[in-house]
A = this chain, B = another copy of it.
Amino acid sequence: VETPTPLTIGFLGGTGPQGRGLGLRMAQAGHRVLLGSRDAQRAAAVVEELAEVVGGLAGDVLGVGNEQACADADVVFVVLPYDGQAELLEQVAGHCAGKVVVNCVNALAFDKRGAVPVAVEAGSAAEECAALLPGARVSSAFHDISAVRLQRLEEPVEADVLICGDDDEANQLVVHLAGQIDGMRGVLAGPLRLSATIEAFTAVLIGVNRRYKTHASVRVVGV
Using a CB–CB distance below 8 Å, which chain A residues touch chain B? 113-114, 116-117, 158-159, 162, 164, 187-191, 193-194, 196-198, 200-201, 203-205, 207-208, 210-212, 214-223
- Name the distance in Å between A212's Cβ and chain B's nearest Cβ: 5
Find out whether the CB atom of B113 lies under 8 angstroms from the CB atom of A193. Answer: yes
Are A187 and B164 interface neighbours, CB within 8 A? Answer: no
CA distance A161 to B190 in the complex (A): 22
- CA A133 – CA B191 in complex, angstroms? 36
- Interface of A: prevailing SS: mixed
CA distance A47 to B24 in the complex (A): 57
21 residue pairs bridging A and B, Cβ less than 8 Å apart: A113-B191, A114-B191, A116-B194, A117-B197, A158-B222, A164-B207, A187-B208, A189-B207, A190-B204, A190-B208, A191-B207, A194-B203, A197-B197, A198-B204, A208-B223, A212-B222, A214-B223, A216-B221, A217-B222, A218-B220, A219-B219
| Contact across chains for A203 and B197 when beta carbons are under 8 A apart | yes
Known: A208-B220, A216-B223; 17 extra A-B contacts, CB below 8 A, are A113-B190, A113-B193, A114-B190, A114-B194, A158-B221, A162-B204, A188-B208, A189-B208, A190-B208, A190-B210, A196-B200, A197-B201, A197-B203, A197-B204, A212-B222, A218-B219, A219-B219
Name the distance in Å between A167's Cβ and chain B's nearest Cβ. 14
Report A119 CB to chain B, min CB distance, Å.
Answer: 10
Q: How far is the CA of A159 from the CA of B220 in the complex (A)?
A: 9
Which residues on B sit within 8 Å (CB–CB) of A214?
Answer: 222-223
| Alpha-carbon distance between A157 and B211 when the two chains are bound, in angstroms | 24
Complex Cα–Cα for A219 and B187 (A): 14
Chain B residues with CB below 8 A from A113, complex form: 190-191, 193
> Shortest 10 CB-CB distances between A and B: which pairs?
A190-B207, A197-B200, A216-B222, A214-B222, A189-B207, A219-B219, A217-B221, A189-B204, A158-B221, A212-B223
Cβ–Cβ contact B193 & A116, under 8 A: yes
A7 to B211, CA, bound (A): 27
